[in-house]
């Protein structure tokens, strides 16, 4: 992943332009609260921080992180003091279990495959639960999106996810409909 790809041109000259607070952000926040009822959330790959802002407005302690310097500048207008710029491939600058939940939408498919297992370990270290929405190979447009370099089937992601992780399984990409599937560890007492 080259951070230059995720600077101004990414947000202003791709299908994401104009990048804004879209209606699906409200739906995602409602789903986060309904499914996990977190007291604290870290949005990894938060871009400008629209999800973070909506969570804060609902009384959730929320922070965002992203690799983009451009997103960091934009975040100052939306979530001042609630953004950390970092490269997830090198870890997260947070304490163990600092958050109830990590939310990550549309970011992991932008990371080289060799880093995914380490990132999943970091997610497990930093939060008790995780919610991920990833562009899956089952969607015909996944490889057409700018920067998508790790597009895999849902089963590939589930194998790598820590327990207590919800994965969004939409019929077509990261749209508003679809199901959230929980990977959980069941302990059977004999």
One DSSP character per residue, 171-186 reads: SSSS-S-SEEEEE-PP
160, 117 Cβ separation under 8 angstroms: yes
Of 179, 175, 181, 178, the closest CA to residue 24 belongs to 175
DSSP string for 113-174:
HHHHHHHHHHHHHHEEEEEEE---TTSTTGGGSTT------HHHHHHHSPSSEEEEE-SSSS
Asked if CATH classification 3.40.50.150 holds for the domain at 3-183, the reply, yes or no, is yes
Q: What does the pLDDT read at residue 99?
A: 98
Q: What does the pLDDT read at residue 173?
A: 44
Q: What does the pLDDT read at residue 5?
A: 79
**pLDDT tens digit at each of 190 positions of the chain:** 544 478 888 888 766 677 889 898 999 999 999 999 999 999 999 999 999 999 999 999 999 999 999 999 999 999 999 999 999 999 999 999 999 999 999 999 999 999 999 999 999 999 999 999 998 888 777 877 778 899 999 999 999 999 999 999 876 544 556 788 899 875 555 5
| Calpha distance 32→103 (Å, rounded) | 8
In the chain, domain spans: 3-183
| Calpha distance 21→30 (Å, rounded) | 15
- pTM of this structure: 0.91
Question: What is the C-alpha end-to-end distance of the chain, expressed in Å?
Answer: 47
| Calpha distance 69→168 (Å, rounded) | 28
Distance of CA 132 to the CA centre of its chain: 6
Q: What does the pLDDT read at residue 187?
A: 55
Of 96, 3, 90, the closest CA to residue 42 belongs to 96
Q: What does the pLDDT read at residue 189?
A: 52
């Amino acid at each position: 992943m080259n951070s230059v790809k995720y600077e101004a041109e990414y947000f202003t000259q791709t299908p994401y332009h104009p990048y804004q607070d879209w209606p699906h952000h409200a739906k995602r926040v409602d789903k986060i609260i309904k499914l996990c009822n977190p007291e604290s959330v870290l949005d990894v790959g938060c871009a400008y921080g629209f999800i973070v802002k909506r969570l804060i407005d609902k009384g959730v302690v929320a922070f965002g992180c992203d690799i983009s310097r451009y997103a960091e500048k934009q975040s100052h207008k939306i979530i001042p003091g609630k953004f950390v710029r970092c490269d997830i491939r090198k870890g997260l600058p947070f304490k163990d279990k600092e958050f109830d939940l990590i939310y990550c939408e549309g970011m992991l498919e932008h990371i080289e495959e060799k880093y995914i297992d380490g990132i999943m370990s970091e997610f497990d270290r930093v939060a008790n639960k995780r919610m991920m929405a990833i562009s899956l190979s089952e969607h015909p447009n996944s490889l057409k999106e700018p920067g998508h370099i790790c597009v895999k089937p849902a089963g590939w992601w589930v194998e790598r996810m820590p327990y207590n992780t919800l994965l969004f399984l939409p019929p077509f990409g990261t749209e508003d409909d679809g199901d959230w599937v929980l990977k959980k560890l069941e302990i059977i007492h004999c």
